[in-house]
């Protein structure tokens, strides 16, 4: 079933690789990896993992990819941060406002 989704992320990383996941058509930028994919109710339904490699896609198909992106199930977030997840009140009239305070930049060196 199609749903309206959005994501929040920081565009800084390139060369992402995908092994398994959901194909999504939400526009993303390289570096959005790890950002939440959120439905209009404010539920995290996925975690963004990758976008199509434009040059390789073009070489293989002769056309440019348009919104060919991937995410893993949002339920995986509970495996990563189970003790940090809290259920609280939220309003569904503005899921971006409700979600943006839960997204942070993490840099691994």
* Domain housing 89: 5-97
Residue 107 lies in a domain: no
User: pLDDT at residue 59 above 50?
Assistant: yes
User: pLDDT at residue 63 above 50?
Assistant: yes
Residue 51 lies in a domain: yes
Residue 75 lies in a domain: yes
Q: Among 70, 64, 68, 36, which residue's Cα sits nearest to residue 50?
A: 70
Position 32 scores a pLDDT of 80
User: pLDDT at residue 81 above 80?
Assistant: no
Find the CATH number of the domain harbouring 58: 2.40.10
Residue 109 lies in a domain: no
Position 51 scores a pLDDT of 84
Q: Which residues pair with 5 in a beta bridge?
A: 39
Residue 39 lies in a domain: yes
pTM of the model: 0.63
Position 79 scores a pLDDT of 76
94-98 average pLDDT score: 73
- If one counts the domains in the chain, the total is 1
Residue 103 lies in a domain: no
């Amino acid at each position: 079933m199609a749903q309206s989704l959005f994501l929040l992320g920081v565009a800084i990383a390139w060369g992402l690789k995908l092994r398994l996941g959901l194909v999504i058509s939400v526009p993303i930028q390289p570096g959005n990896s790890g950002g939440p994919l959120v439905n209009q109710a404010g539920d995290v339904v996925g975690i963004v993992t990758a976008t199509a490699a434009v040059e390789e896609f073009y070489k293989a198909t002769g056309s440019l990819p348009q919104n060919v992106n991937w995410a893993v199930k949002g339920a995986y977030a509970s495996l990563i941060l189970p003790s940090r997840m809290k259920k609280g009140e939220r309003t569904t009239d503005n899921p971006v406002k409700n979600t943006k305070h839960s997204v942070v930049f993490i840099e691994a060196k």
